Structure formats: structure tokens, C-alpha cells
Amino acid sequence: MNIQRPLCLLIVVACCVFGVVQAQHPATPKTTPASTETQAPQPYLLGPGDLLEVTIEQMTPATRRVQVDGGGFVSSLPFIEPVNAKCRTERQLQQDLTAAYKRVINDPYVSVLVLERNSRTPASISGAVRQGGKVPTLRKLKLNELIAASGGFTEKASGTIQILHTEPVMCPEAGQEAESLPINGASIPLQIVKISDLLKGATNPVIRPGDLVLVTEAEPVYITGSVVSPGSIAMRDQLTLSRALATVGGPRKEAKLSEVRIYRQIAGSTDQEILKVDFAAIKKNQAQDVLLKPYDVIDVSENGLFPGGVIEILAGIFLGGVRHSVPVSIP
């Protein structure tokens, strides 16, 4: 018996059945991982000082280097009037130059290439950052990018960042017309940003060319006496006595917690006051914590030692003036 014929029929039937099943259950399309969308960079807008390479094939020499003048015009090309380049892209200027040369050349071919971008003054950052200096502003730059470019904040960074605008906006967008007006010196725009708001993402302003950015350094608070690591710490927003003592390792076992002294300068005076605080009660939540001020001198004395005389002398060296004792009562 010839078995080849039945075997061929069996293969044909199997293929038909497989085809029917595939028709009823179409194959799932092959998927590729979704690509991360990136925002296309905005085209560079020309300005005074930019160096361009302009090529006009029908002329000799065909290629010329020209600089955008102080008024924002390309004014050194032959046979045409000055052409505005300020706030124009390469492509837009190329189209404008082509239209200008059509008056003197048949079917001119013009190309424009930016060789040097000189129209944007770098922003300067200083203060409580790890690496101050100048940062280019050739594209739209946000404050958090400027901070990152300077290495981030130091431990001395205080509560604010001051942004001083020294130049008007050259190419204003909608709503920026007022910012494009000349700065007259009588009302130099100063913007103050809280570091906490920047870190939370509540604000992140655009840095303009020529901006002077200062990350303010915190003023000191001094802690001495019976604590683990006496010294000075940087003042922070809402710095309390408890947080300050925790920063230096906390009080020692022999510390007299019932009477911690805070020597504080009186505003507008050379005198100082002494706040006597029951820190033991604060630890037991029986008294309200004390908010500190810049240049406070905190003394945690030991039981039976230095009732205040020596420390008052040291505080006087820091603060100067007459001292007034002010007990802080427990609510």
C-alpha cells in the first residue's frame, strides 16, 4: 500500500485546519516599547552680536561672515538694504535675505548658518552653591537647572534666592511685553524665591540672560555648654531650640535642662536680652518650643556649674551691649 498519498492528504488537512484557526484568532500585533517623548528644543532666535555665515551661490565670493549689529540688523551684505535679524531664526532670516536678493539676482540661493551665539549674556550665580560662576543662557533656562549647573546648594543655603534682572527680555513672548522695556535703574526688577518653594516645585522661574542670582547664606546660631558638639549652625526657617540642640548631638547627661539660656540681640539696639527656657518641660510637651533668631547664643550649663557669669561674658563678646534677663514662662 502506498502510504505517501494518505500522508500528503493528512498534511493538507492539518494546514487547512491551522489556517481556519488562525483566521478566527488573528495574531496579536507585535508591540514595541513606547519611546519616551522628548520636547523638541526651541529654535535659536538671533540677536545683536551673533556671528553668521551667509552663502549666496550667485555671488563672488559666495560665502561671507557677517555679524548682527547692535540694532539687530544684518547690514554689511552688498547690494541690499539692512535686513532685520533680531528674534528671527536661521530659516526666517534666510527667507528674508532671499526675498531681498530677488530684487537684484535671478533665483538667488541663500543659506544662513550661525557660527557664534553672542547675543545672550550668561547668567551669574553666587552664594551658597557648590560652584558659583557663569552659566550660558542660549536656550530657555529654569532656576532649578541653574542650581544644578552650579553643583547644588551648600549646607549654608538659607531660605531665599535673589534674582536680579539686569537686561530686558530681548524676544518677548505673549504677556512679556512689560519685561521687554528698558531697565531704567530706578526700578531694577528683583525677584525673590523661597528655596522651599523651589524644592516643592511650587515655583521655578525662567532665568534671563544677564541675571545675577544670589543664594543667600544662612546667618549663624551659636550653641555652647553641655552639649555633644558645641559650635555654630546655620539658621533655617522655623528653627526651634529642640531642632538646634538635636543638630549638635543634643544635651549631655549632666546638662541642666531646666534652665537653658538664650542670649539674643535686641533689634535696633546694642543691648541684649537673656531668655531662660525650661527645656525639660519642652521635651515633656509641657511647654511650647522656642523659635530661634539669627545670632542667638544658646548656653546649656551643667548642674551646679557656671550659673551664667562666664557664659554671659562670652555672649557679650558675640553680641555686645547690656543684658536683660527675660524668663520664658511655661503655658
User: What local confidence, expressed as pLDDT, does residue 304 receive?
Assistant: 63
User: What local confidence, expressed as pLDDT, does residue 17 receive?
Assistant: 41
The set of cell numbers assigned to 306 is 557656671
The set of cell numbers assigned to 288 is 511650647
User: What local confidence, expressed as pLDDT, does residue 36 receive?
Assistant: 33
User: What local confidence, expressed as pLDDT, does residue 186 receive?
Assistant: 55
Rg (CA), the chain: 36
Bridge partners (DSSP) of residue 51 are 67, 116
User: What local confidence, expressed as pLDDT, does residue 33 receive?
Assistant: 36
Q: Which CATH superfamily is domain 51-116 in?
A: wza like domain (3.30.1950.10)
User: What local confidence, expressed as pLDDT, does residue 238 receive?
Assistant: 85
The set of cell numbers assigned to 41 is 528644543
Q: Which one, of 246, 227, 226, lies nearest residue 236 by Cα? A: 246
Q: Mind listing the pLDDT tens digit of every residue in the chain (331 residues)?
A: 444 454 444 444 444 444 443 444 443 333 333 333 345 567 899 999 999 999 999 999 999 999 999 999 999 999 999 999 999 999 999 999 999 999 999 999 999 999 999 999 999 999 999 999 999 998 889 999 999 999 999 988 988 999 999 988 899 888 777 777 777 655 668 899 999 999 999 999 999 999 999 999 988 999 999 999 999 998 887 899 999 999 999 999 999 999 999 999 888 877 889 999 999 999 999 999 999 999 999 999 987 654 444 444 455 445 554 444 444 444 4
Where are the domain boundaries for CATH 3.10.560.10 in the chain? 123-217, 220-327
- As a whole number of angstroms, the distance between CA 241 and CA 221 comes to 10
pTM (predicted TM-score): 0.65
220-327 fold: Outer membrane lipoprotein wza fold like (3.10.560)
- The long-range contacts involving 86-89, CB below 8 angstroms and separated by at least 24 positions, are 86/46, 86/47, 86/48, 86/170, 86/171, 87/45, 87/46, 87/47, 87/170, 87/171, 88/45, 88/46, 89/43, 89/44, 89/45, 89/46
User: What local confidence, expressed as pLDDT, does residue 29 receive?
Assistant: 35
- AA letter at 331: P
**Residue pair 261/313 in contact by the 8 Å Cβ criterion:** no
123-217 fold: Outer membrane lipoprotein wza fold like (3.10.560)
Alpha helices, DSSP H only, in 118-248? 143-149, 195-200, 241-247
**Residue pair 298/261 in contact by the 8 Å Cβ criterion:** yes
User: What local confidence, expressed as pLDDT, does residue 185 receive?
Assistant: 56
User: What separation in angstroms does the CA of 23 have from each of 9, 18, 19, 218?
Assistant: 21, 9, 6, 73
Neighbours of 58 (CB within 10 A): 13
Neighbours of 251 (CB within 10 A): 21
Where are the domain boundaries for CATH 3.30.1950.10 in the chain? 51-116
User: What separation in angstroms does the CA of 263 have from each of 65, 166, 300?
Assistant: 68, 41, 11
Q: Which residues of 267-278 are buried (b: 16+ CB within 10 A; e: fewer)?
A: eeeeebbbbebb
Helix, coil or strand: residue 70: coil
Give 163's contacts (C-beta < 8 A, 6+ positions apart): 143, 190, 191, 192, 193, 205, 207, 211, 212, 213
- As a whole number of angstroms, the distance between CA 30 and CA 214 comes to 53
- As a whole number of angstroms, the distance between CA 315 and CA 207 comes to 42
Indicate the burial class of 145 (C-beta count within 10 angstroms; 0-12, 13-18, 19 or more).
middle
